[in-house]
Structure 1
Amino acid sequence: MAHPLRVAIIGAGPAGIYTADNLVKSRPDAQVDLFERLPAPFGLVRYGVAPDHPRIKGIVQALEQIMARGQLRLFGNVAYGTDIKLDELRAYYDAVVLSTGADQDRALDIPGIELPGSFGAADFVSWYDGHPDVPRTWPLDATQVAVLGAGNVALDVARMLAKTADELSSTEIPPNVYRGLASSAVTDVHVFGRRGPAQAKFTPLELRELDHSPNVEVVVDPADIEFDAGSLAEIRAHRQTELVVKTLQEWAIREPGDRPYKLHLHFLQAPVAVLGTDRVSGLRTERTELTGDGTVRGTGELRDWPVGQVYRAVGYLSSHAADLPFDHRTGTIPNQAGRILDLDGEQIPGMYTTGWIKRGPVGLIGHTKGDALETVQSLLADEPLLARAPNRDPAAIEEFLSQRGISYTDWPGWRRINAHEMALGERTNRERVKVVDRAELLTVARESC
């Protein structure tokens, strides 16, 4: 009798869960376990999206439906590389899929970027999303702040900096985040993109959301609305770009409003230095100009902005997964259609990858689904050649973790966390209030139903 395929997936975010779903749909008898270093699943959907994005709930509901079918097991609060190593996993599983995502900030190599008061966007996002491994406070002590980047993460950061705490009090933000935002000194947020409006990576919906706050005025300088031949071609070719540009043009020509907080969108401004000695006291940018094909070059015209904090939102970066090759330039695991390759470009038997650590931090949920399917197809094509794990008892991994003293959360444990957070929300007429503390999450997960 053939043994069922046993697969471990490292990371229980969307990419990991979609991979697991594809596997059990293709092999209903497959035994698939997801290992997650945090007590709660869902990765950046839970810990990387602004809390005022209700449409993200639909993604969470879809992921929960996959997990709730009972074909998959979750082992939360288990860190790959420390709690369990690769060779230990290979004793229990025929194949291992790395789906650890990207939660670090990409570096920006300009003078002064390491000054106190200069932050990575990912760290700020983790704070306001209640990540258990970051500090509970955030120093919102500057009146003017800069956000470097022209993508959706930059807009999320800018919006959270500009909005009042009371505007966000109906969301799932935990009490420490509400207190931090309530004490914020921020009055002006400046977002800088080094290219033109047509090259911005905002989605139209994300952009329009900036203007929904009754307290935040979005300001666009008409001088920044410039287009070259490459820009016009981009506008004609992509409806999304056309909508973004149209919105920015409308904001640039409207009369100034009287909302108390200002969110300034600047284009054709490249950051060249963060100013200050002991901490951030300003930002220096260079005016750029479009070259005809949508790219830009510097003009030599410099301007200093009196900001007290700088947030770089120039991209996420994956962390090196232990005992596996890693391309530090791209922040990805070398692979071919999801098959992990060694330093000589040869396939490592039984090892696969999916999601952002496979392809880099680009693309939306639709890309993640297609990416997961490709990896699963590669794995299943290799299945006849996979070396079978020696210990095939599904209970053996639970015994291993228990003997190591690892207090892991399972899917019923997550359901208890979920119910607890929703009960906290009900007390204040909210759908949910996030629990932040790791020990508290583990305690709630272990409570009897």
Structure 2
Amino acid sequence: MKDLRVAVVGAGPAGMYAADILTKEHPTVRVDLIERLPAPFGLVRYGVAPDHPRIKEIIKALHRVLGHERIRFIGNVSYGVDVKLDDLRRHYDAVIFATGAISDRALDIPGVDLPGNHGAADFVSWYAGHPDVPREWPLEAKSVAVIGAGNVALDVARMLAKPADEQLTTEIADNVYQGLKLNQATDIHVFARRGPAQIKFTPMELRELSHSPSVDVIVHPEGFEIDEASQAAITASKSTRLVVDTLLKHLDAEPTGAPHRIHIHLCQAPVEVLGADRVEGLRTERTQLQGDGNAKGTGEYVDTPVQAVYRAVGYLSSHLPGLPFDHQAGVITNDRGRILDLDGVPLEGMYVTGWIKRGPVGLIGHTKSDAAETIASLLADLDTLPGPEETDPDAILNHLTANGAVVVDAEAWSRLDAHEIALGAAQNRARIKVVPREDMLRAATRTP
């Protein structure tokens, strides 16, 4: 195999798995992980609730990837701002885009633009300490609606219901803790448009709802429908069976009188956010299962008084400059990871992996297999890659610094990492996350 230099744009799990697989499959490849934030790990760092330490165990494996001698981390560099597509073409044999999905998918119902409406992705970025979002979050609502039937909806509900002091064993940033201390929410209503066998909760996420002694989980009997197709799904899938069993336990349980309650409403589809000048309620339509896993409206409506609505109906990728984009599907147009132009012809040396390739679905296992497919396509094209104009591996760093970019390399990230761990150690916690970008850069670039 010829020597190969590849840029991976995005240092979340998708990009890092692609880099890892590529170094294992090609003996002389050198990979640059180009990340717009000063820290790596993407949604594992900025899309996972702070009280999910088991999920964050993934970071240990990703740390090992960063330590590979043929993988270089180039952080705090934004594609389209600090580096352009033509720059990447000039410096690398191939480019893999793995920028993920961080925006909220739209929900097209009346009233969705009223003050008090929030995207779940924005809320997640806030409580996960993302440096590019506001430091404060409005938490005056006593009753809140969460629209969605996936794990993000459960995370949002749990973070709204769980007292802030119970988060002090986690890496929660100080501004997030102070914000949650002011949270007024007592009742969180989660709405799913289908039944218990069709919701997308994972068993672990659902079980974690009831781990706080301050929270009661109440499953409402209306809409708890298990038809023949649902029973088949329960029989075929252990995960579905565990989810339904957990919901049944909550359905049968008596509330303990805890000060906070998470209500789960099944077979209710949102049709309108109510209110004049701001959110005052959510109108839902009762639905009925159709025997094939789908549900349709019954014409019966329910109004639930709430003062805030969180839309957890999916993430959406953003269009990257210079690349074709399917705005409906929210993905870069591709064939097995090869980026296609508007005529369906592969763009030479351009590849994609992760959620921006396939949409925001699947867990970590899907991300690994997805990256493997993209790397297989790249290696199959090896003989047709034109090769970079710039042969010096450090030329890209010189280009970035000449244009004013403050590059965070692996050594600088290690300093920031150690700084956060030291902040946590002072309070008997594993880590306290640094939020402002300027503070991250200060910790990363300081000298001993």
One-letter code aligned to 1:367: H
CA contact (8 A) 1:229 1:294 kept: no
One-letter code aligned to 2:63: E
Q: Counterpart in 1 of 2:23?
A: 24
One-letter code aligned to 1:88: D
One-letter code aligned to 1:281: E
Q: Following superposition of structure 1 onto structure 2, how do residues 185-200 of structure 1 map, counting pairs within 5 Å?
A: 185-200=184-199
Q: CA offset at residue 353 of structure 1?
A: 0.3
Q: Counterpart in 2 of 1:309?
A: 308
Unpaired stretches in structure 2, ≥5 consecutive residues: none
Q: Structure 1: which 4+ aligned runs deviate by more than 4 Å?
A: none
Unpaired stretches in structure 1, ≥5 consecutive residues: none
One-letter code aligned to 1:373: A
Structure 2 residue 386 is matched with structure 1 residue 410: no
| CA distance in structure 2 between the aligned counterparts of 1:433 and 1:352, rounded to whole angstroms | 36
Q: Counterpart in 1 of 2:360?
A: 361
Q: Helix, strand or coil for the counterpart of 2:179?
A: helix
| CA distance in structure 2 between the aligned counterparts of 1:443 and 1:255, rounded to whole angstroms | 52
Q: Counterpart in 2 of 1:220?
A: 219
Q: Counterpart in 2 of 1:99?
A: 98
| CA distance in structure 2 between the aligned counterparts of 1:72 and 1:447, rounded to whole angstroms | 23
Structure 2 residue 325 is matched with structure 1 residue 326: yes
Q: Counterpart in 1 of 2:435?
A: 436
One-letter code aligned to 1:254: A
Q: CA offset at residue 345 of structure 1?
A: 0.6
CA contact (8 A) 2:9 2:95 kept: yes
| CA distance in structure 1 between the aligned counterparts of 2:49 and 2:223, rounded to whole angstroms | 27
Q: Following superposition of structure 1 onto structure 2, how do residues 46-445 of structure 1 map, counting pairs within 5 Å?
A: 46-445=45-444
CA contact (8 A) 1:190 1:266 kept: yes
Q: CA offset at residue 3 of structure 1?
A: 5.7
Q: Helix, strand or coil for the counterpart of 1:91?
A: helix
Encode CA deviations 1:53-112: one digit per residue, 9 max, x unaligned. 111232000000111122211111111011110001111001011100001101000001
| CA distance in structure 2 between the aligned counterparts of 1:408 and 1:117, rounded to whole angstroms | 38
| CA distance in structure 1 between the aligned counterparts of 2:221 and 2:301, rounded to whole angstroms | 19
| CA distance in structure 2 between the aligned counterparts of 1:150 and 1:432, rounded to whole angstroms | 31
| CA distance in structure 1 between the aligned counterparts of 2:292 and 2:23, rounded to whole angstroms | 46
CA contact (8 A) 2:107 2:313 kept: yes
| CA distance in structure 2 between the aligned counterparts of 1:3 and 1:258, rounded to whole angstroms | 67
| CA distance in structure 2 between the aligned counterparts of 1:184 and 1:262, rounded to whole angstroms | 14
| CA distance in structure 1 between the aligned counterparts of 2:404 and 2:393, rounded to whole angstroms | 18
Give me the identity figure in percent.
61
Q: CA offset at residue 203 of structure 1?
A: 0.5
| CA distance in structure 1 between the aligned counterparts of 2:205 and 2:438, rounded to whole angstroms | 34
Q: CA offset at residue 228 of structure 1?
A: 1.1
Q: Helix, strand or coil for the counterpart of 1:224?
A: coil
| CA distance in structure 2 between the aligned counterparts of 1:294 and 1:446, rounded to whole angstroms | 53
| CA distance in structure 1 between the aligned counterparts of 2:255 and 2:6, rounded to whole angstroms | 58
Q: CA offset at residue 145 of structure 1?
A: 0.3
Query: Which deviates the most, 365-374 or 216-225?
Result: 216-225
CA contact (8 A) 1:228 1:293 kept: no
CA contact (8 A) 1:141 1:186 kept: yes
Encode CA deviations 1:29-61: one digit per residue, 9 max, x unaligned. 112101101110000000000110111232000
Query: Which deviates the most, 65-74 or 260-269?
Result: 65-74
Query: Which deviates the most, 236-245 or 68-77?
Result: 68-77
| CA distance in structure 2 between the aligned counterparts of 1:268 and 1:222, rounded to whole angstroms | 10
Q: CA offset at residue 5 of structure 1?
A: 0.5
Q: CA offset at residue 140 of structure 1?
A: 0.2
Q: Helix, strand or coil for the counterpart of 2:381?
A: helix
Q: CA offset at residue 222 of structure 1?
A: 2.2
Encode CA deviations 1:218-256: one digit per residue, 9 max, x unaligned. 001123321111111111111111111111111111222
One-letter code aligned to 1:439: E
CA contact (8 A) 2:224 2:267 kept: no
| CA distance in structure 2 between the aligned counterparts of 1:445 and 1:167, rounded to whole angstroms | 29
One-letter code aligned to 2:445: R
| CA distance in structure 1 between the aligned counterparts of 2:67 and 2:144, rounded to whole angstroms | 43
| CA distance in structure 2 between the aligned counterparts of 1:241 and 1:268, rounded to whole angstroms | 17
CA contact (8 A) 2:45 2:56 kept: no
Query: Which deviates the most, 28-37 or 219-228?
Result: 219-228
Q: Aligned-residue CA RMSD in angstroms?
A: 0.9
| CA distance in structure 2 between the aligned counterparts of 1:28 and 1:58, rounded to whole angstroms | 28
| CA distance in structure 2 between the aligned counterparts of 1:295 and 1:140, rounded to whole angstroms | 34
| CA distance in structure 2 between the aligned counterparts of 1:63 and 1:70, rounded to whole angstroms | 14
| CA distance in structure 1 between the aligned counterparts of 2:171 and 2:354, rounded to whole angstroms | 26
Q: CA offset at residue 349 of structure 1?
A: 0.6
One-letter code aligned to 1:282: G
TM norm structure 1:
0.99
CA contact (8 A) 2:223 2:286 kept: no
CA contact (8 A) 1:318 1:357 kept: yes
For these two proteins, the number of residue pairs brought into alignment is 448
CA contact (8 A) 1:225 1:249 kept: no
